[in-house]
Amino acid sequence: MGMLHTGHMSLVRLAAQQTPSVIVSIYANPSQLTTHGEKQSYPSTFDSDLERLVAMNDEMRHSCTGVIRAIFAPVDEEMYPCSPPDSIPQGIGGFVNILPISSLLEGRDRPSHFVGVSTICLKLFNAARPNTVFFGEKDFQQTIVIKRLVQDFLLDIKVVVGKTIREIDGLAISSRNVFLGTRRRAVATIMVRAMQAVRDAYEQNVMDRNQLLSVGNRIMEQERVEQEQLPEDQGATFAVIYFELVDPESLESLITIDPGNGAVLCGAIQMLPLKGGGDGEDQGLRDGADSVRLIDSIIL
């Protein structure tokens, strides 16, 4: 989707460590950006993305088995030749839906999101014909969707999942972080703090879903209340979209964890638009006017 960051670059490096020839795809997929306005406002960073990739490629020639051989940056008309460039899954054209995985977690309030993801990935796989593809663990549900896509459509492709890359304070690196600004960025760590507390409880042999989730929910609720009580030019409010303990393969909610099978803690929060704030405050891209959806996951 562009807006390359350290997490993306770690996947490029991982690919170069495991394969001799790497293709990097950069494409802002319109069937993931589900409104025309969202597509129009999505930041274009292609030139800076290209500069980063060229610099990394020069360095990888001396440290990795492989290098970047090509950057695949198609246009809408190439990827959606039979439907409008701003096509969405409810519109005309051919789309792929991996059910029931796509309808869970993110799919509950973004029902077309993974339809767009699976569709564009199948198109990219058909166009580039990779032997191996690399995805990040932060978007855990996406990795399961892609694995099912590969299985269901009999694709001879290996799916490799790279570890989540985090800031020093634990926040998962994401393209969306540039929208946060200083105030929301400080509060955005609340989800990973809650997840770490749940992981600590799990490591103390707590296996019950309700007990584990209550640990994280308590932490997030306390932070939410504290932020709402602050003056509006000081606080950063947020809403919890979901905070779930799921099976690592089916993504179905678990009642209790089987230690032999493990579990994945998946969550999403919405950092709400900023209110107030004086001149000179870093409010992030578009001056804090947009809500920012942040997702994360931790494997237990």
User: Taking the CA atoms of the chain, what radius of gyration do you get in angstroms?
Assistant: 20
Say if CB 221 and CB 74 are below 8 A apart. Answer: no
CA 297 to chain centre: 10
- CB neighbourhood size of 32 (10 A): 22
Q: How many whole angstroms separate alpha carbon 71 and alpha carbon 78?
A: 15
Instruction: Give the amino acid at 299.
Output: I
Summarize the chain as % helix, strand, coil (round to 5): 40, 15, 40
Helix (H) or strand (E) holding 131: none
Residues paired with 296 in a beta bridge = 267
How many other CB atoms are found less than 10 A from the CB of residue 110? Answer: 17
What number of other Cβ atoms are within 10 A of residue 234's Cβ? 11
Single out the catalytic residue among 8, 36, 62, 113.
Answer: 8
Is 113 a residue of the active site? no
* Helix 113-128 × helix 140-152 angle, to 10°: 50
Which residues in 47-170 belong to E strands, given as ranges? 67-72, 132-136, 158-162
Residues serving a catalytic function are: 8
